[in-house]
């Protein structure tokens, strides 16, 4: 069976799932943990600085500093990826951060300092250079003491989400951008951002459900996909209090492109099973028209609007609204098990 056939079978299998009613979730959304890969790492950083008072921990894999692109696609494609001779202007970025904070568009320094931070970069990453990740570390060092940060520069990993055994070879970067590296990045980032956790389940015990992002995210959700996904352990459906982790996929990793592979193969769900944790997997949409986003990236250079990296940015507002809505998800009809419009 070819790879394309396997992806089609996977896609059809979750299209065919019957709708399932949901019981009331007792979900704590005042403090969440977040993570992201590549464009998802940039998005995680943006959301963190925008709403740090509601973020207890943030993990960024294969990403760079907040506002690296400074609203410019050319800057994003050069300085913020792998072009070492293009400067990343941290001083100018810091002035922008201070301006945004003074206008209430970002969280205060004191709120940012209260979070835990985990940063990962693979030395075989030919998409985002090591120097870009080093700028991210330097940027966060201005807020954090060393014991609040975990920084891993891995000499084997490429541009992907590292796992113990799922995915392609560790030293290459190909779709679905999940690498078998003998390293459980999901467990490492969750333990660093959410505290010491119970060991993961050996197989997923909960279920993945579809959520209506345009309904839960409001008018600001127009630039993202109609559907997102959420993994809910069985214990959370029984009314036990549960926390929320938000995982942002990278470019070319939304469900429209790779099916459920990012959602099911990173290992986050098995950790969620044993630690009363719901995992939200928001989804972008691919677009060849305006806004131009052919690879389904999160907006980290300004394709939606000039306020993209602030509380007023469309995608950040949509995600924040969705997170708040998830606390009352059991009262909503916005969710059906793996259904796709």
Catalytic residues: 38, 125, 159
Query: Degrees (nearest 5) of the Cα angle 13, 14, 18?
Result: 105
Q: DSSP assignment of 53-81, as one string?
A: GGEEEEEEES---TTTTTT-HHHHHHTTT
On whether the CB atoms of residues 226 and 214 are closer than 8 A, the answer is yes
Q: Which of left, alpha, beta for 182 (phi over 0: left; psi -120 to 50: alpha)?
A: left
Cα–Cα dist 168/153, whole Å: 19
CA distance 41 to 122: 14
Q: How far apart are CA 341 and CA 75, in angstroms?
A: 36
In sequence order, which ranges of the chain are alpha helices (DSSP H)?
A: 3-15, 39-50, 73-78, 90-102, 109-113, 130-141, 185-194, 213-217, 234-237, 255-258, 261-265, 268-273, 314-326
> What's the N-to-C CA distance of the chain in angstroms?
27
Beta bridge pairs of residue 168: 179
Partnered with residue 229 across adjacent β-strands are 210, 281
Give φ, ψ of 35 to 5 degrees.
-150, 165
Sign of the torsion formed by the C-alpha atoms of 20, 271, 123 and 121? positive
- Residues pairing with 212 in the sheet: 227
Cβ contact 194:275 at 8 Å = yes
């Amino acid at each position: 069976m070819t790879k394309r056939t396997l992806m089609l079978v996977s896609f059809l299998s979750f299209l065919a799932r019957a709708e399932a009613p949901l019981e009331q979730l007792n979900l704590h959304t005042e403090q969440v943990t977040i993570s992201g890969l590549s464009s998802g790492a940039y998005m995680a950083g943006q959301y963190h600085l925008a709403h740090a008072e509601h973020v207890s921990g943030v993990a960024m894999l294969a990403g760079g500093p907040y506002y690296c692109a400074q609203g410019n696609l050319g800057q994003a494609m050069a300085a913020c990826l792998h072009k070492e001779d293009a400067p990343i202007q941290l001083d100018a970025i810091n002035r922008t951060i201070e301006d945004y904070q003074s206008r209430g568009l970002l969280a205060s320094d004191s709120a940012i300092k209260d979070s835990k931070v985990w940063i990962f970069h693979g030395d075989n990453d030919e998409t985002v250079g090591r120097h870009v990740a080093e700028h991210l570390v330097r940027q966060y060092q201005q807020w954090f003491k060393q014991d609040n940060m975990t920084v891993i520069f891995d000499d084997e990993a490429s541009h992907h989400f590292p796992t113990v055994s799922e995915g392609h070879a560790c030293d290459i970067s190909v779709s679905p951008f999940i690498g078998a590296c003998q390293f459980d990045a999901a467990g490492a980032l969750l333990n660093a951002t959410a505290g010491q956790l119970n060991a993961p389940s050996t197989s997923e015990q909960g279920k993945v459900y579809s959520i209506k992002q345009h309904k839960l995210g409001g008018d600001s959700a127009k630039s993202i996909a109609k559907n997102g996904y959420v993994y809910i352990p069985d214990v959370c459906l029984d009314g036990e209090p549960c926390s929320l982790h938000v995982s942002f996929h990278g470019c070319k990793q939304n469900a429209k492109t790779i099916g459920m592979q990012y959602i099911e193969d990173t290992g986050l769900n098995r950790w969620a099973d044993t630690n009363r944790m719901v995992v939200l997997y928001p989804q972008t949409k691919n677009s060849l028209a305006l806004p131009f986003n052919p690879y389904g990236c999160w907006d980290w250079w300004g394709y939606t609007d000039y306020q993209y990296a602030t509380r007023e940015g469309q995608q950040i507002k949509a995600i924040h609204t969705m997170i708040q809505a998830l606390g009352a998800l059991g009262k909503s009809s916005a969710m059906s098990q793996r259904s796709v419009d």
